[in-house]
Amino acid sequence: SSAPFRGLKRDLYEGGHHVPFVIRWPGVTKPGTVSDALISQVDLLATLASAVGFELPPDAAADSHDFLPWLRGQSERPPRTTIVHNTNPKQYAIRHGDWLLVDGKTGTMGEPPEKAWLEKHDVPPDDGQPVELYDLRRDVGQRENVAAAHPDTVAELQSLLKSVRSRGHTAPRLD
């Protein structure tokens, strides 16, 4: 189950991408620490390379962020504030802070689930809008598309997504 998030593994919604990450590293991480920091599985390459002192070639892991300083408590800055979700060449979403923008008609890949499944899991059907925006602070389940109420945020996130895609990478650089 991806509860309380909307969507399944193949979808652009948080249910398709929000996965817990557990670390046990005596002497590095404090036991019992819980964080809502945003990281991506692609960050593991840069982080593990850093942990073992391996310098990646300049053209390797362009999307990977080294979050080792953050793990060690040497940086207050979260590993990332933005991540791009992409499960299909024509479908993109961008998570920036507490905002999730689904840039397309729907964040569901393939055929939408049957009405009975949607009702059983309290998932709203596709609203047919060309873009979806969710405030994850207030609506972690992505039930209310607030794009119409926040046109400036939609424009900002669409611009950021366009910029990231034009560079050919799925992760905006922090530097």
Q: What's the whole-model pTM score?
A: 0.80
Residue type, 116: A
Is the pLDDT score of 172 beyond 60? no
Is the pLDDT score of 145 beyond 50? yes
Give pLDDT, residue 175. 45
pLDDT digits (tens, 9 = 90+) for 96-114: 999 999 987 655 555 666 6
Looking at domain 14-166, its CATH architecture is 2-Layer Sandwich (3.30)
Q: Where are the alpha helices (DSSP H) in the chain?
A: 43-51, 68-71, 115-120, 151-166
Each domain of the chain, given as residue ranges in start order, spans 14-166
Identify the burial level of 138 via C-beta atoms within 10 angstroms of its C-beta, where 0-12 means exposed, 13-18 middle and 19 or more buried.
exposed
Q: How far is 79 from 148, CA to CA, in rounded Å? A: 30
Q: How far is 171 from 65, CA to CA, in rounded Å? A: 8
pLDDT digits (tens, 9 = 90+) for 37-50: 889 888 999 999 99
